[in-house]
Amino acid sequence: MGWWPFKRSTRIIASDPHMRGTRLWLQELQEGCERNFDNHAEGQRIVRHLQVEWTEAHTEQEVSDELLEGLDRRAFRLLRADAEAWLRWLDDEEFWSPGWRGDDGEPSAD
């Protein structure tokens, strides 16, 4: 009886695993940094850990070249920051927006 509507399907509906997008990677980076707003050294440790994660994801083609470049650009700024610069980067809304280029190397002064 192939017409029975309550029959369990043996077909796999989605064979592709869910991949994180730009906003999720940025959100994870931002949350890790903001949890350690008062301890930039610990925040930088988390940034290095996340950097390993997204580099591995790039190797597995889960992260595009452009996204990896943007994440690395942010990590570079965060890892070079002292305590004062760390807080400025965390408060910079543009820094956490997708598409941020950061060509000047300084947090924007809004």
**Candidate from 15-24, 37-46, 98-107 with smallest mean pLDDT:** 15-24
Residue 6 lies in a domain: no
Residue 9 lies in a domain: no
What domain range is 76 assigned to?
22-96
Q: What is the pLDDT of residues 59-107, one digit of tens each?
A: 999 999 999 999 999 999 999 999 999 999 999 999 999 888 876 656 5
Percent of the chain with pLDDT over 70: 75
For the chain, the domain total comes to: 1
Give the tokens for residue 3: 């017409």
Q: 99 Cβ partners below 8 Å, 6+ apart?
A: 70
Residue 39 lies in a domain: yes
Give the tokens for residue 16: 């592709």
Residue 65 lies in a domain: yes
Residue 88 lies in a domain: yes
**Candidate from 4-8, 27-31, 68-72, 78-82 with smallest mean pLDDT:** 4-8
Whole-prediction pTM = 0.75
Residue 45 lies in a domain: yes
Rounded CA gap, 13 and 73, in Å? 37
